[in-house]
Amino acid sequence: MGAIFKREMKAYFTSPIAYIFIAVFYVYTGINFVGTNIYGATTDLTYIFSAVFTLMMIMLPLLTMRLMSEEKKQKTDQCLLTAPVNLAEIVMGKFFAALCVFLIGMAIYIPYVLVLFKLSGSIEWPIVIGNMCALLLLGASFISIGMFVSSLTENQIVSAIASFIFIMLLYMIDVLASSITVEWIRNAMVSIGFYNRYYEFTNGIINIPSVVFFISAIFIFNFLTVRVLEKRRWGE
């Protein structure tokens, strides 16, 4: 796993993709931070955390698009799959590399929080901690979804667009649910929606079922990616 993690990290930082991702992340959150918290003179962090959801929807597919599809296209998967490593190690190595780049982006919230703490002297720590957890869980589940989609295609662009649509649907489900009148369908839709669960966290509520929900999503999609690799081995 270590070897694959290291190689993926190197690949992220030898291509412009990691730099672009981090830069966009910093600029977008920076504008929100200055606009809302500095000019608005508030220590309420809810907005700058909840606004980042849309950005992650667009940016994380860019981070995951090449993870599996490029291996397949360049036939380098032949080298991974004939090496003495198991499939889970390959998938986890790639997952953690993408997560790591995401965490570097996310780390920008630490200076924001510290600046606010310095300026105001008081900060709502539950909200900060809740948001950090939420970002981590949401990012990780988007990455595992993106990687799963990437394992289905050889084309990076298809991979990026398809994962964007996939994530978009998960986001839309909450919106669509409110217009459904059949109660059990609505409940089912609400329970798989991502946004409401994320929104809870941004208000500082760490809801255990939601934590379990995100962790299960991460686990399921990583597992599916392993299955896709396995299936390809068995052919038809």
Partner 1 sequence: MIEVKNLTKQYGAKRAVDDLSFTVNDGEILGFLGPNGAGKSTMMNMLTGYISSTDGQALINGIDILENPTEAKKNIGYLPEIPPLYLDMTVGDYLSFIYDLKKCRLPKKAHIEDVCKLVMITDVYDRIIKHLSKGYKQRVGLAQALIGNPPILILDEPTVGLDPKQILEIRNLIKKLGKRHTVILSSHILSEIQAVCDRIVIINKGKIAADDTPENLTAKLSDEHKLIARIDGSRDEVLKVISSIGGVVSVTADMEREPGTFDYEIEAEEGRDIRRELFKRIAARNWTILMLKTTELTLEDIFLKITMGSDITIGGSKKKAAAVSEDDAKAMHEAVDQAVIAAQAVEMSKKLAAGTEAEEEYDGGEM
- Residue from 23, 31, 83, 129 in contact with partner 1 (CB under 8 A): 83
Which of 22, 57, 62, 80: binder of partner 1 (CB under 8 A)? 80
Alpha-carbon distance values, 66 to 2, 95, 208 (Å): 19, 12, 33
| Contact (Cβ atoms closer than 8 angstroms) between residue 211 and residue 133 | yes
* Contact call for residue 125 and partner 1 (CB under 8 A): no
- With beta carbons less than 8 A apart as the criterion, state whether 61 and 146 touch: yes
DSSP 161-211: HHHHHHHHHHHHHHHHHTT--SHHHHHHHHHH-SHHHHHHHHTT---HHHH
Kindly give, in sequence order, each residue whose CB lies less than 8 Å from that of residue 26, ignoring residues fewer than 6 positions away.
Answer: 105, 108
Q: Which is nearer to partner 1, 17 or 51 (CB)?
A: 17
Helix (H) or strand (E) holding 227: helix 208-234
Q: Which is nearer to partner 1, 14 or 179 (CB)?
A: 14
* Site membership for partner 1, residue 4 (CB under 8 A): yes
Binding mask 214-233 for partner 1 (x = CB under 8 A): -------------------x
Can you read off the two tokens belonging to residue 139?
């990012």
Among 74, 120, 207, 216, binds partner 1 (CB under 8 A): 74
81 binds partner 1 (CB under 8 A): yes
Asked whether position 15 contacts partner 1 by CB under 8 A, the answer is yes
* Residue 29 or 150 with smaller CB distance to partner 1: 150
Write b or e for each residue in 124-162: b if 16 or more Cβ atoms lie within 10 A of its Cβ, otherwise e.
eeebbebbbebbbbbbbbbbbbbbbbbbbbeebeebbeb
Among 25, 37, 77, 116, binds partner 1 (CB under 8 A): 77
Does 98 sit near partner 1 (CB under 8 A)?
no
Task: Give dist(CA 156, CA 179) in Å, integer.
Answer: 35
CB of 80 to partner 1, least distance (A): 7
Interacting positions 150-209 with partner 1 (CB under 8 A) = none
Instruction: Using CB under 8 A, pick the residue from 9, 13, 14, 182 that binds partner 1.
Output: 14
Q: Rounded distance, CA 166 to CA 161, Å?
A: 9
Note whether 20 binds partner 1 by CB under 8 A: no
User: Which residues of this protein are in contact with partner 1, per CB under 8 A?
Assistant: 2-4, 6-7, 10-11, 14-15, 74-86, 233-236
